[in-house]
Amino acid sequence: LTQLFRPLDMLGMVYRNIRQGLIDMAAMFKLLDTPQEVADAPAAPALVIRRPSVTFDNVVFGYDPDRTILHGLSLDIPAGHKVAIVGPSGAGKSTIARLLFRFYDPQAGRILIDGQDIREVTQTSLRSAIGIVPQDSVLFNDTIGYNIAYGRDGTSDEQVESAARGAALMGLIERLPQRFATEVGERGLKLSGGEKQRVAIARTLVKNPPILLLDEATSALDTRTEQDILATLHALAEHRTTISIAHRLSTIADADTIFVLELGRLAEQGTHAELLRRDGLYAEMWARQANEQAELGVAAE
Ligand code: ATP
């Protein structure tokens, strides 16, 4: 991480909230070794969001020129919709998230947010518009209050507390000897995976981004914690455009649209019910997961 962020620090042009976004993104998509390949266009304006729609328009992308990963992908996500991107391992789900965050530029096609090509706006404004809740959030060796407010300077105590409440963290905080002033992280109180994720949710509530990118792989958590976290994530998603990268289908069945990717192409799209009726790739993935869960003795949803 240090290697990735040191040059940015030296340039002194990256605000803390952007760095937090990058850190969460790095944690989410293991981007530690990704070089910064994109630059702002000269005199690029800030992204201005009135209605946070997201459009992938015929996007062609490969990490290496000789291997195309996304083959002319088009996704249309209206403002305020909750969508999920599913598909077999290697289909390109995380790649879509990396492109939306502009870690890379497409070789052809465009990505638009509220009608603006993300290549033509500042990365600072782009990244502060997108909130991320990684599964394994990075905590700083500081107080829990600092960890929640991180990402936005000048956050008041009331805002921190309200975010903690929204993220169902108050139960934990009330039990801590110094409440919000309790040190957490490597040298302080160790938080569980679920608690760390709630801190990330609280941080995102403070940031209040119009677009949310969720990694819904909650496999590390027990079922009860998972249900709690999902309920909190749903509260977070309200009034925002939400894109979930889903590994477990049971968590996204209520999405407005499910995009089913296969080898970098959109194989199917629709609601859960529509896709089941279609009896294609999604229905097959759903049946397989239901079987796996039954074998594990977990009630399939
Ligand atoms: P999973 O469900 O396993 O996380 P995914 O659908 O998110 O998979 P991606 O991570 O988007 O898949 O990967 C799509 C393809 O791109 C894969 O074939 C992968 O090997 C390749 N790929 C991913 N990252 C890189 C990289 N940094 N350099 C080169 N190829 C990459």
Query: ipTM score here?
Result: 0.97
Each residue's pLDDT tens digit, 177-233: 899 999 988 777 888 888 888 888 898 888 889 999 887 655 445 566 667 777 777
Burial letters 144-160, b for 16+ CB under 10 A, else e: bbbbbbbbbeebeeebb
Residue nearest to atom 17 of ligand 1 (CA): 90
63 C-alpha to ligand 1 centroid (Å): 9
**260, 88 Cβ separation under 8 angstroms:** no
From 94, 247, 262, 285, mutation site for ligand 1 pocket: most ligand atoms within 8 A of C-beta: 94
CA 130/CA 211 separation, integer angstroms: 5
Residue 21 region by backbone torsions, left for phi larger than 0, else alpha for psi between -120 and 50, else beta: alpha
179 or 291: whose pLDDT is higher?
179
Which pLDDT score is estimated for 23? 62
Which pLDDT score is estimated for 77? 97
65 C-alpha to ligand 1 centroid (Å): 15
Please list every protein residue whose CB sits less than 6 Å from any atom of ligand 1: 63, 69, 87, 89-95
95 C-alpha to ligand 1 centroid (Å): 6
Assigned token pair, 163? 């975010």
Element (H, E) at 234: helix 223-237
Assigned token pair, 246? 């889903």
Each residue's pLDDT tens digit, 252-268: 888 999 999 999 999 99
- Asked whether residue 123 carries a pLDDT value surpassing 60, the answer given is yes
**93, 287 Cβ separation under 8 angstroms:** no
Residue 18 pLDDT class (50, 70, 90 cuts): low
